[in-house]
Amino acid sequence: MPSVCLYFQVHQPYRLRRYSFFDVGHIHNYEDETENRRILDRVAQKCYLPANMLLLKLIEEQQGKFRIAFSLSGTVLDQIERGRPDVLESFQRLAATGCVEFLNETDSHSLVFLFSPREFKAQVLRHRERVRTLFDQDSRTFRHTELTYSNDLAIAVEKLGYAVILAEGTEKILGRRSPNLLYRPAGCAKLKLLLRNYRLSDDVAFRFSDRNWAEFPLTAAKYAHWLHRIRSEGSIVNLFMDYETFGEHQWEETGIFKFLSALPGEILRHPEFRFQTPAEAADGNRPAGEIDCPEFISWADEERDISAWLGNAMQQDAVHTLYKMESAIRRRKNEGLLKTWRMLQTSDHFYYMCTKWFSDGDVHRYFNPYESPYEAYINYMNILDDLSQSIKNSKGESR
Amino acid sequence: MQILMFGWEFPPRMSGGLGTACFGMTKGLAGLGHRITFILPQADQTSAPFLNLVAAYGIPVSSAALEDRGAGVLHRLTVHPISALLTPYLNEDRYRELTLYGRSGFRNSAVVYGHDLIAEVIRYGRAAGAVARRFSFDIIHAHDWMTVPAALLAHRISGKPLVLHIHSLEYDRSGDNVNGEILAIERDGLEQADRVIAVSHRTKRMIVERYQIPPKKVSVIYNAVSRNEAQRIYRTERTGRQKTVLFLGRITFQKGPDYFVEAAARVLKVLPDVTFVMAGAGNMMRQLVERVGELKIGDRFHFTGFLQGEEIERIFSLSDLYVMPSVSEPFGISPLEAMLYDVPVILSRQSGVAEILKHALKVDFWDIRELSAKIIAVLKHPALMGVMAEKAKEELRTIRWDTAAERISELYRETV
């Protein structure tokens, strides 16, 4: 029986305030609270609230047959807990239906696995705990920030007790194999691997409102028809995308909510098809083969690698300066400093420093609060400078 | 197409970006098959080196030799000098200095020179207009206000269409202390020209808002930089020694040199080993030398005076950062030249070149705190300096005179 596995990533970083070199030593609060609140309110209004309401209605209508998954980053959880309890509550209502799986990730939406195994584990356990508390679920599925993935990561995740991990279905690891099957990561005994069908996912996430696209306009019926062609035994079509696709990246006027509203019915019109959450899909199938992924991959850009975050010398400098602070931070045993250090690990801060597509101005630009990658780097380094001083000063206090 | 072009500087004799722009542009246009007769003032006999250089590219030296001498791109370009005591962006004060101190050494005794810049421009106009009678051409292309009387005369005599190319306006050069006569000449030219080329959207906005020219008449065509302008005689000499920050340009209100001095003082409080260099000359120099003394940063702040040719290349090759804090810069080619030397660049947002450069840092010229913070950032972080220089190099490849010349050529076709 072919399955459709829908997972939505929910994430908002903490945007940083404009922090000048001359602020170092004077200002120790790095967050741009006004901007974060403004964006959260906008996204809550345009996406989270209406989309949650729609999904809840669809789940009720389909009486258990429409099943989905979410992963909420720790940074978005912090922000909705702090400022928009109504949004948190609407996610909790979805959790209560029993048809929604909440995944685990690194709490800071970080790339920490590449830099510190110890901190990686701490962030995963922290996120697991929060999902348990807020949504009353013990996650069995793990996804790393921006679907970054490698053999080593899979092995570490298996050790943490997860049953399934998500990754990008890129040809780099698949060769000519299908992304619509369950796999086993190389080096793992139990862990299973679900791979994103990037064509079908991006048809919705990126191309939905593109008038130059040959398939425009995309209707739920047409889309379901494409899915129905993938009907071999054991097929799992993994549609993974940012939740903000609905109403924020694709505005309501594009008809994205109408599309979403009609989609479950259109897919379930075919009697063999069903929806499953990642954990359910992994349980019900045996791996079709092994996937070897020695180098890191991700769901970003054409390259599907980690160069969007760590591709240039500024990004490398920033990330290494940050992780060099780890031992000093731990020695201080200062909750505030630790929290700040973790907030600064969010991958978005490094993404803003990406120079790859800056000249062309595209998707990177849309998400970037800075005028240029250089401004992003300067701002970030000034903040690290101040944090580093604060660490030194806090040593003085504890003596 | 045959183009009659009026300018007033051409490499190597020039003091600003206009000569550089005219060189790149005419080379690009000649490459597209246009024939250009380039009329420019000649201050004195020392103009000879300039003619020699042009001759080296195959352009006839003598003013009588006006014919195209065979193949090759620059062969289609004829440079025709006219005697006049004009240097670019000369203001009335500096003009008087020149004539009073007798540094000009006029050769053409047949002409009586006035002690007044405007009269000089008009005289250049008459002579140029007369010269224009001797050529056949399809279109007239003039650069900035000083060529306007000449171009208008040629326009009247020939009835051929006139394209006025604006590289700088009186409002840019003088802020609100504008010279009314220059303004009137600019207005005259802008109104009577068939088409106007502005070097940036910033300049176009000024032309439309301050001179009430219909926006449809004004096209924006950005300047560029050509590789041969910087032949890299000097290898980069930045080797981890003390860092040098460069200002290069006229030391006048327009270029914002005072903001550079103030920023230097702030940077030196944080990074006391940095050297600041101000290369250029201008009427604010004395005031700034005094200010540097007042700030007690004289040991880290150097004035080089006016630099030319190789000296400019050398100073770029010695610098770690180039700063252009212009108060009002229609375009600004020099940051592009700095980038050719792998020098990262900080620009004022009040410059036309900021509209096209992505791999540069930008500040408001008045924001000294931000300017100093950015200077510190570049000097402190080798990663930043490295990525900026590397990306700027890629970006420069897309800023080509060939592309600008194609757009100008298109505009000619629409106009004729």
pLDDT digits (tens, 9 = 90+) for A312-354: 999 999 999 999 999 999 999 999 999 999 999 999 999 999 9
Question: Which range of residues forms the domain containing residue B281?
Answer: 228-396
Mean pLDDT for the stretch of residues B11-36: 81
List of residues 6+ apart from B345 with CB closer than 8 A: B321, B322, B323, B324, B335, B338, B339, B357, B360, B361, B388, B392
| Predicted local distance difference test score (pLDDT) of residue A356 | 85
CB A107 within 8 A of CB A347: no
Q: Express each pLDDT in B188-211 by its tens digit.
A: 999 999 999 999 999 999 999 999
DSSP state, residue B113 = P
| Predicted local distance difference test score (pLDDT) of residue B13 | 58
CB–CB contact B361 A381 (8 Å): no
Distance between start and end Cα atoms, chain B: 10
Is the pLDDT at B99 greater than 80? The verdict is no
Question: Which range of residues forms the domain containing residue A394?
Answer: 308-398
> Quick check: B33 contacting A, CB < 8 Å?
no
Same domain? For A124 and A24 the reply is: yes
Is the pLDDT at A126 greater than 50? The verdict is yes
Rounded mean pLDDT of chain A? 94
Tokens of B340: 């050719």
CB–CB contact B376 A21 (8 Å): yes
Is the pLDDT at B366 greater than 80? The verdict is yes
Band (pLDDT 50/70/90 cuts) for residue B134 is confident
Three-state DSSP state, B220: strand
| Predicted local distance difference test score (pLDDT) of residue B103 | 37
B372, B384, B398 member nearest A374 (Cβ): B384
Percent of chain A topping pLDDT 90: 92
Same domain? For B213 and B350 the reply is: no
Is the pLDDT at B76 greater than 80? The verdict is no
Q: Express each pLDDT in A98-117 by its tens digit.
A: 999 999 999 999 999 999 99
Same domain? For B275 and B156 the reply is: no
B270 interaction partners in chain A (CB closer than 8 Å): 21
Rounded mean pLDDT of chain B? 81
Same domain? For A72 and A151 the reply is: yes
Half-sphere exposure of B10 (CA within 13 A, CB side): 30
The CATH number assigned to the domain holding B247 equals 3.40.50.2000
Same domain? For A81 and A195 the reply is: yes
User: How many C-beta atoms lie closer than 10 Å to residue B101's C-beta?
Assistant: 8
B355 interaction partners in chain A (CB closer than 8 Å): none
Tokens of B144: 């900035």
Structural domain includes residue A25:
yes
Is the pLDDT at B63 greater than 90? The verdict is no
A372 interaction partners in chain B (CB closer than 8 Å): 358-359, 361-362
Nearest to B275 by CA among B308, B319, B240: B319
CA distances (Å), origin B301, targets A85, B321, B365: 57, 14, 20
Structural domain includes residue A123:
yes
CB–CB contact B359 A372 (8 Å): yes
| Predicted local distance difference test score (pLDDT) of residue A365 | 61
- List of E strands, B206-274: 218-220, 244-248
The values of phi and psi at residue B313, to 5°, are -60, -40
Residue with tokens 């994430």: A11
d(CA A201, CA A4): 11
Is the pLDDT at B111 greater than 50? The verdict is no
Structural domain includes residue A262:
yes
Same domain? For B235 and B310 the reply is: yes
DSSP string, A145-167: GGG-B-HHHHHHHHHTT-SEEEE
d(CA A64, CA A259): 20
Nearest to A208 by CA among A245, A241, A237: A245
DSSP string, B150-165: HHHHHHHHH---EEEE
User: Which of A300-314, B162-176, B366-380 has maximum average pLDDT?
Assistant: B366-380
CB A77 within 8 A of CB A85: no
Structural domains of chain A, count = 2
Structural domains of chain B, count = 2
Same domain? For B99 and B126 the reply is: yes
Q: Cα distance from A313 to chain B (closest Cα, Å)?
A: 5
- List of E strands, chain A: 3-10, 68-72, 100-102, 141-142, 164-168, 184-185, 192-196, 236-242, 274-275, 290-291
Is the pLDDT at A250 greater than 60? The verdict is yes
Is the pLDDT at B110 greater than 60? The verdict is no
CB B325 within 8 A of CB B263: yes
Same domain? For B407 and B389 the reply is: no
B359, B369, B384 member nearest A314 (Cβ): B384
Q: Cα distance from A24 to chain B (closest Cα, Å)?
A: 11
| Predicted local distance difference test score (pLDDT) of residue B23 | 84
CB–CB contact B384 A378 (8 Å): yes
Same domain? For B156 and B48 the reply is: yes
Structural domain includes residue A240:
yes
Same domain? For A187 and A324 the reply is: no
- List of E strands, B49-152: 77-83, 139-143
Structural domain includes residue A299:
no
Is the pLDDT at B372 greater than 70? The verdict is yes
> Quick check: B32 contacting A, CB < 8 Å?
no
| Predicted local distance difference test score (pLDDT) of residue B116 | 63
Asked which of B190-204, B259-273, B331-345, B361-375 is least confident by mean pLDDT, the reply is B331-345
| Predicted local distance difference test score (pLDDT) of residue B229 | 47
Asked which of A27-36, A368-377, B70-79 is least confident by mean pLDDT, the reply is B70-79
Q: Express each pLDDT in B287-328 by its tens digit.
A: 999 999 999 999 999 999 988 778 888 999 999 999 999 999
Same domain? For A354 and A243 the reply is: no
Is the pLDDT at A283 greater than 60? The verdict is yes
Same domain? For B192 and B242 the reply is: no
CB–CB contact A355 B391 (8 Å): yes
Is the pLDDT at A164 greater than 90? The verdict is yes
Percent of chain B topping pLDDT 90: 52
Is the pLDDT at B72 greater than 80? The verdict is no
Type of residue at A143? R
Same domain? For B282 and B373 the reply is: yes
Same domain? For B50 and B198 the reply is: yes
Same domain? For B409 and B315 the reply is: no
Mean pLDDT for the stretch of residues A385-394: 94
Mean pLDDT for the stretch of residues A241-265: 96
Q: Which residue has the higher pLDDT, B86 or B164?
A: B164
Q: Express each pLDDT in B236-261 by its tens digit.
A: 556 567 899 999 998 999 999 999 99
| Predicted local distance difference test score (pLDDT) of residue B93 | 54
| Predicted local distance difference test score (pLDDT) of residue A363 | 56
Mean pLDDT for the stretch of residues A266-275: 95
Same domain? For A260 and A390 the reply is: no
- The runs of H, that is alpha helices, within B159-256 are 170-174, 180-192, 201-211
Mean pLDDT for the stretch of residues A34-45: 97
Structural domain includes residue A257:
yes
Is the pLDDT at B47 greater than 50? The verdict is no
CB–CB contact A314 B391 (8 Å): no
| Predicted local distance difference test score (pLDDT) of residue B167 | 95
Residue with tokens 């691997």: A193
Nearest to B13 by CA among B40, B43, B39, B47: B47
B379 interaction partners in chain A (CB closer than 8 Å): none
Same domain? For A255 and A127 the reply is: yes
Structural domain includes residue A349:
yes
Tokens of B26: 């005419």
> Quick check: B388 contacting A, CB < 8 Å?
yes
Mean pLDDT for the stretch of residues A361-368: 62
Most A CBs within 10 Å, among B356, B387, B396, B398, to test the A interface: B387
A312 interaction partners in chain B (CB closer than 8 Å): 387
| Predicted local distance difference test score (pLDDT) of residue B97 | 46
Q: Which residues from A are below 8 Å from B when comparing CB atoms?
A: 20-22, 312-314, 316-317, 355, 358-359, 371-375, 377-378, 381-382
B395 interaction partners in chain A (CB closer than 8 Å): 359
d(CA A303, CA B337): 33
Same domain? For B292 and B345 the reply is: yes
| Predicted local distance difference test score (pLDDT) of residue B322 | 98
Same domain? For A93 and A158 the reply is: yes
Nearest to A192 by CA among A117, A290, A70: A290
The CATH number assigned to the domain holding A66 equals 3.20.110.20
d(CA B75, CA A169): 59
Q: Which residue has the higher pLDDT, B51 or A292?
A: A292
The values of phi and psi at residue B37, to 5°, are -105, 115
| Predicted local distance difference test score (pLDDT) of residue A179 | 96
Q: Cα distance from B369 to chain A (closest Cα, Å)?
A: 8
Longest C-alpha distance within chain A, in Å?
A: 70
| Predicted local distance difference test score (pLDDT) of residue A25 | 95
Same domain? For A256 and A315 the reply is: no
Same domain? For B36 and B87 the reply is: yes
| Predicted local distance difference test score (pLDDT) of residue B230 | 47
Is the pLDDT at B98 greater than 50? The verdict is no
Same domain? For A364 and A286 the reply is: no
CB–CB contact B373 A355 (8 Å): no
Residues 231-290, chain B, touching A (beta carbon < 8 A): 270
Provide the whole-model pTM: 0.88
Asked which of A337-351, B97-111, B267-281, B392-406 is least confident by mean pLDDT, the reply is B97-111
Last residue of a domain, one of A235, A256, A291: A291
Is the pLDDT at A16 greater than 90? The verdict is yes
Is the pLDDT at B96 greater than 90? The verdict is no
| Predicted local distance difference test score (pLDDT) of residue B235 | 55
